[in-house]
Amino acid sequence: MTTSIEGTDAAGADFAGRVALVTGASRGIGYGVALELLARGASVTITSRKPDAVTAAAQSLAAEAGVPESRVLAVPGNSGRADDREEVVTRTIEQFGRLDVLVNNTGINPVFGPLMEADLGAVLKIFDVNVVAALGFVQLAWKAWMQEHGGAVVNVASVGGLRSTGVIAAYGASKAALIRLTEELALQLGPKVRVNAVAPAVVKTRFAEALYTGREEEAAQHYPMKRLGSPEDVARLVAFLVSDGASWITGETVRVDGGLLATGTLA
């Protein structure tokens, strides 16, 4: 199986016969990851909270990737609920017979500003969805398929988990926990399963709109690459990390930040 991080055309169908589950995939980074894996031969389960949105996303993904709709399974569910997570994994195995790749992309950030003013209930919810739910999905994928057959996991973290922001502090702390969880899982699940994380900076999605709307050009000037990220930038890195080309990479958190952290600031 040959792999290229350069994109779909070079990689061909390098994920043919494999099955991926991408959470939070009705739009944004999750959608981009699902599209990349589909175009490279995988069958993909996508999940998000709103039934209409995830169903529409599945249809759009199949059309955009030029694959039969049977290659995309849409399962609505709240990643923060154990029963919903179990249904997603169970239906994936029922539909496709296997689960080779898990991409934990679901994330929430309802708290902005100083931690001393943060609502602790909201902080608890952030950690439950961004960290505990990710572990829950890994446990289910491990028991359903990966323990016996192997696989690869990528957790979508953030540069906010690597450096303080002062603005999205609770979110950043949850992503720091996700990065540590990634390392611990890599230790415990190897050699059967590789576990890595990606840490994007600001990517042009609805989730991150508050960080650049009305000031995109100004925000981009802080980046050595002079632009904000796109879902495709993250998706191609994720595809590489779950491919055989990354077979000796585990426990890593790879920045995909346009060089932002190289400037020494997240401002």
If one counts every other C-beta atom within 10 angstroms of the C-beta of residue 219, the result is 17
Phi and psi dihedrals of 34, rounded to 5? -60, -40
| Paired tokens of 87 | 């249904």
Pick the closest to residue 106 from 55, 148, 155 (CA basis).
155
Catalytic residue among 31, 171, 212, 223: 171
Query: Measured between alpha carbons, how far is 146 from 93 in angstroms, rounded to an integer?
Result: 11
Q: Is 212 a catalytic residue?
A: no
Burial class of residue 5, CB neighbours in 10 A (0-12, 13-18, 19+): middle
Pick the closest to residue 104 from 13, 18, 177, 201 (CA basis).
177
* Helix 28-39 with 231-241: angle, nearest 10 deg: 50
Residues that are catalytic: 171
